[in-house]
Amino acid sequence: MAAEPKKGTFMADNKQDNRPLSPFMIGQYYRPQWTSMSSIFTRITGLSLLVASLMIVWWFVAAASGPEAFATANGFITSWFGDLILFFSTWAMFYHMLFGIRHLIWDSGRMLEVDQSEMYAQAALVGSVLLTIFVVIVL
Amino acid sequence: MRFITDRKRAAGLGSAKTGTEHHWHMMVTSVALVPLVLMFILSFGAILGSPYSEVIAYYQRPFPAMIAILTMLVGFNHFAHGARSTIEDYTGGLTRKALIIGVNCLSYSAAAFAIFAIVRIAL
């Protein structure tokens, strides 16, 4: 029985299998870094804002429907569980906003050095917490 | 082994040529959302917890209603585009298409429901 021809012998062979792949930024290959962590959290916070957004849409639809529907939706949002969602969403909102602004700064060609980027990440993390506390106190 | 050439296998796997437009769209909507969301958090947070009649009276005023409408419109648009990037990063094929269509249906439905509700309260 003839041996299988080696991969890559023919033009039509799929060479993709041997292609070197760079590992994903989170996992066993990299230690956690400010740059990679702040980046993935920008995405996570952005996506998680869907929960509070849909809750607020429900609140508006209920308000438009009448007092009974409003009482149900408003009761849920102002319950401890609704408050918890709104509290974390407020933080997620500020985090996503501050790190989104970093993207706008990067796009203008500024703050592209790693140390500047890390400094912004640390400052923006503190900023997002402070802004959340500010909103909770004011409202 | 499949009788398929390298060229045929590579066709369609390159850039979609619309990345610049997508990126610019995200920039425009994100800049718009900075003031919109700040105003929305302050106005929505101020009225949340008030009784039904006060909430209705509040959103009959043009300024709070317009902030809410624009935040919902631009916000869900930004979400649909951002979620699409995530889907494109981690999925492929039919799953990718189904998820992108699903996210678009959800985002624009949610925005439409919210805007219809606010307009109905306001008018």
What does the pLDDT look like over B57-79, one tens digit per residue?
999 999 999 999 999 999 999 99
Residues of A in Cβ contact (< 8 Å) with B4: 12
Burial class (CB in 10 A: 0-12, 13-18, 19+), A136: middle
Closest-CA distance of chain B to residue A139, Å: 6
Max Cα–Cα distance, chain A, nearest Å = 82
pLDDT-above-90 percentage for chain A? 68
Q: Which of chain B's residues have a Cβ under 8 Å away from the Cβ of A135?
A: 41, 45
Contacts of A8 (CB under 8 A, 6+ apart): A15, A18
Reply yes or no on whether the pLDDT at A2 is more than 70. Answer: no
Choose among A46, A70, A138: nearest Cβ to B82. Answer: A46
The domain ranges of chain A are 34-138
**Model pLDDT for residues B28-39, shown as the tens digit of each residue:** 999 999 999 999
Q: Do A135 and B41 touch (CB under 8 A)?
A: yes
Nearest CA in chain A to B36: A97
At A1 the pLDDT is 46
Shortest Cα distance, chain A CAs vs residue B102, angstroms: 14
The SS3 assignment for B60 reads coil
Q: What is the ipTM of this complex?
A: 0.88
Q: How far apart are CA A58 and CA A60, in angstroms?
A: 6
Q: A10 to chain B: which residues are within 8 Å by CB?
A: 1
What contacts A58, CB < 8 A, 6 or more positions away? A73
Task: Evaluate if residue A21 carries a pLDDT over 70.
Answer: yes
For A32-73, how does the pLDDT look when each residue is reduced to its tens digit (9 = 90+)?
888 888 999 999 999 999 999 999 999 999 999 999 999 999
CATH architecture of A34-138: Up-down Bundle (1.20)
Between helix A114-138 and helix B19-47 the angle, nearest 10°, is 30
Examine the pLDDT at B11 and tell me if it is beyond 60. yes
Query: Which domains occur in chain B, in start order?
Result: 19-122 (1.20.1300)
Q: Tell me if chain A has a CB within 8 Å of the CB of B118.
A: yes
Return d(Cα B87, Cα B96) in angstroms, integer.
Answer: 6
- d(CA A108, CA B70) in angstroms, rounded, equals 26
pLDDT for A3 equals 56
Position A98 pLDDT exceeds 80: yes
Establish if B114 touches chain A: CB-CB under 8 angstroms: yes
